[in-house]
Amino acid sequence: MALGLDLGDEAIGRIVRLVALWGSYGASMNILGNSSGEGLHEHVVEALAGVQLARTLGVSGRWLDVGSGGGLPGLVVAACSTYPMVLVEPRAKRASFLEMALARIGRTDCSVRRARVTEKGWDVLDGGKPIEGGFEVVDSRAVFAGPRWLSIGRGLSERWVFAHLKSVDESPKVDGLNEMERKDVGRWSVRAFRVG
């Protein structure tokens, strides 16, 4: 498997189901910009780099994926782990897709919330209760620029903020965060910053 990551048959089966869902719904629901072929493979491998980082760091707690969009990296992480997860997506159509995809891969223990996060906190769109904290990992891809995401993420995590950057980018410096690990995959890099 990509990255030398031992996933097991169940996780591989879940990823295959996700790829089929992206193929079926990607274009019609505008889920992903490139939902087939090499582009999708690159996105999945980048998400797997986050799974590998989490395993290296010994992550075992709750995981928050902000701006989940079409499910990258959140759905891939859910497919390859048992982390309790909350996927946050403001757009109703994409949130519905995320809920369906989690059910199809058997992760009904994970949840999807319609919300936006800003420096000031949560803007909950689904009429539900505020999103409770207590996340070991917070992750976001392609929603905020690196320094802004790290500043926001630092306030959401008890331990780790994962950033998805280009491999050639220098790591942003943000008070209260220290870069501990990184995994480069092609032109992308997933970096783990320790809170505190």
- Domains of the chain (ranges; CATH) run 2-195 (3.40.50.150)
Res. 1 pLDDT band, cuts 50 70 90: very low
pLDDT digit string, tens, across residues 39-98: 888 999 999 999 999 999 999 999 999 999 999 999 999 999 999 999 999 999 999 999
Give the model confidence (pLDDT) of 83-112 as tens digits.
999 999 999 999 999 999 999 999 999 999
Write out pLDDT tens, residues 145-193: 999 999 999 999 999 999 999 999 999 999 999 999 999 999 999 999 9
Backbone angles phi, psi at 122, to 5 degrees: -90, 140
